[in-house]
Structure 1
Amino acid sequence: MATALVTGGTSGIGLAFAGELAERGYDLVLAARDADRLAETAADLTDRFGRQVETFPVDLAVRSDVDRLVERLTDQQRPIEVLVNNAGFGLNTPLVGTDVELQDRAIEVMCRAVLVCSGAAAEAMRSRGRGMIINVSSLSAWIYKGNYSALKRWVLSYTQALALELARTGVQATVVCPSWVKTELHERAGVKRPRLPGWAWVEATEVARVALDTASRGKVVAIPGRGWRVAVWVLRHAPDALPRFFSRRISKSRSN
């Protein structure tokens, strides 16, 4: 039976991916920091979908933990057919200053771990001639919201480059760029959710479904929501003043 590995798979978008993959017939490997929460999530998914769920306690900011995850990704006796690099967190740290501890952690989790895990998984998948890698970016990649936007822009660009390198190998690399999703991200980052109309939010389940469907069609960039696909086209082709204006409005909505 095919197996999928999801990082940050105990809540939010990661949990939605786990559920969608289980419903599509995949066994699961869930990687996250909280061992107790991993066990609870695994039991729930097994109960609901009847799939085998392996738990993998790991902190992706710790390089030795990432190395252990790479060993699992490259285990050809227990192959991983789908990798979802979802782990991440909100980043509400100013760019001005000398304290970069949280910034360093964000780079390790949302950039380096994506790079290392994707590269290892891609090599193992390419040797088998099949596989799927989905990296979770954000619509923030097209605006300017501190280092979070910069990191998510890197994920977008990296996945597009990876997809080119994997062309005609049977391995698909896709990046999903959701808008605002009601998860624990804002609370954990210590920021208010922006005051946006209801249509601006997407469900985590939609993010997972759109990403998997897009990857299955061999497409590289997935943007949940037709309206947001139009918005991204506008942001890409409009003068640079528009993304800056939009970024200022988002900051203002959080401070009110």
Structure 2
Amino acid sequence: MTTALITGATAGIGAAFARRLAADGHNLVLVARDTERLRDEATELHDLHGIEAEVLTADLSADSGIEAVEKRLSDRKHSVDLLVNNAGFGSKGRFLDVSMADELMMLKVHCEAVLRLTSAGVSGMKARGRGGVVNVASAAAFVPRGTYGASKAWVVQFTEGAARDLAGSGVRLMALCPGFVRTEFHDRAGLDTGNIPAWMWLDADKLVTAALADLARGKTVSVPDPRYKALMGAAKLTPRSVLGGVTSKMGHKFGPQHQGRGGS
């Protein structure tokens, strides 16, 4: 039986990945900051699907948290076959309104943690000749929207480059780029979503189904909804100065969707 490790696993997209992968018979390593929520989730998934669900409490904004997950990913006796780097967070406010500490924390979670955990996970996968990594980015990666969008653009570029370098190794890497997904994310960040049209909201479980299908097909970038595929296609043809104005009207963070520095 294969094992999947999911960061930010207790809510939103991370929890949807956990539900789907458990239903498909995968054992899980659930990573987040809230031990009690992790244990409740692990117990529920074990009871529902008969899988083993391991709990790993870690805050990915701290070196100690990243190191704990790196250590688990490097355990060759209990190998991880699928890594889902989902942990992330948003900030309320424009550039210079957000503290430098929060900006640097975002880069730590969205970039450094993704780099280090991908490296730790892929090392063993490559040696075994099989495995997969899903790095959760955002539709915000394709529009000029401050540190959040820039960090997610880095995730996309990094994943595409690593995927090319690992071609033929049996290891698949994919950047997942959803838009607005109904999770706890926006409330926790204090973001106002009242001006977001209803049609732009996505369902987390359907999103995960589409993402896993794209991973199986070997895609390196997944925009898992026709509505956002059309929007991203239009974005490529629109001057970036115009895009910046449009996304400002839609909310400070275009497309944030996941949860917590290491989950809830």
Task: Give your verdict on TM over 0.5.
Answer: yes
Deviation at 1:56, TM superposition (A): 0.1
Cα distance between partner residues in 1 of 2:125 and 2:180 = 32
Instruction: Give yes or no for contact 2:29–2:53 (8 Å, CA) kept in 1.
Output: yes
Which residue is equivalent to 1:90? 90
Cα distance between partner residues in 2 of 1:37 and 1:241 = 42
| 1:2–1:192 Cα change, 3 Å | same
| 1:139–1:57 Cα change, 3 Å | same
Q: Secondary structure at the match of 1:88?
A: coil
Cα distance between partner residues in 2 of 1:253 and 1:7 = 21
Cα distance between partner residues in 2 of 1:29 and 1:237 = 41
Deviation at 1:98, TM superposition (A): 8.5
Deviation at 1:97, TM superposition (A): 5.9
Instruction: Give yes or no for contact 2:94–2:252 (8 Å, CA) kept in 1.
Output: no
Instruction: Give yes or no for contact 1:235–1:243 (8 Å, CA) kept in 2.
Output: yes
- What does the per-residue CA deviation read over 1:158-205, in whole Å, with 9 as the maximum and x for residues that have no partner? 111111111110000001100101111111111111422222111111
Cα distance between partner residues in 1 of 2:187 and 2:23 = 29
Which residue is equivalent to 2:261? none
Report the aligned-residue RMSD: 1.7
Q: Secondary structure at the match of 1:232?
A: helix
Which residue is equivalent to 1:223? 223
Structure 1 letter corresponding to 2:50: G
Cα distance between partner residues in 2 of 1:100 and 1:54 = 35
| 1:253–1:150 Cα change, 3 Å | closer
Deviation at 1:91, TM superposition (A): 1.7
Deviation at 1:146, TM superposition (A): 2.2
Q: Which has the higher mean CA deviation after the structures are superposed, 39-48 or 126-135?
A: 39-48
Cα distance between partner residues in 2 of 1:99 and 1:195 = 25
Task: Spell out the pairing of 1:183-198 with structure 2 (5 A cutoff).
Answer: 183-198=183-198
| 1:241–1:6 Cα change, 3 Å | same
Deviation at 1:237, TM superposition (A): 2.7
Which residue is equivalent to 1:5? 5
Cα distance between partner residues in 2 of 1:95 and 1:192 = 17
Gaps (5+ residues) in structure 1?
none
Deviation at 1:43, TM superposition (A): 1.0
Deviation at 1:253, TM superposition (A): 11
Which fold has the larger relative contact order, with Cα–Cα distance below 8 Å and residues 6 or more apart in sequence? Answer: 2
Instruction: Give yes or no for contact 2:30–2:56 (8 Å, CA) kept in 1.
Output: yes
Which residue is equivalent to 1:162? 162
Cα distance between partner residues in 2 of 1:233 and 1:132 = 27
Which residue is equivalent to 1:57? 57
Matched pairs, number = 254
- What does the per-residue CA deviation read over 1:222-242, in whole Å, with 9 as the maximum and x for residues that have no partner? 112112111111112332234
Deviation at 1:145, TM superposition (A): 2.4
Gaps (5+ residues) in structure 2?
255-264
Task: Spell out the pairing of 1:58-77 with structure 2 (5 A cutoff).
Answer: 58-77=58-77
TM-score with structure 2 length normalisation? Answer: 0.92
Cα distance between partner residues in 2 of 1:90 and 1:14 = 15
Pair 1:244 & 2:239 matched: no
Which residue is equivalent to 1:214? 214
Cα distance between partner residues in 1 of 2:110 and 2:59 = 12
Instruction: Give yes or no for contact 1:93–1:103 (8 Å, CA) kept in 2.
Output: no
Which residue is equivalent to 2:122? 122
Which residue is equivalent to 2:20? 20
Instruction: Give yes or no for contact 2:84–2:134 (8 Å, CA) kept in 1.
Output: yes
Q: Secondary structure at the match of 1:122?
A: helix
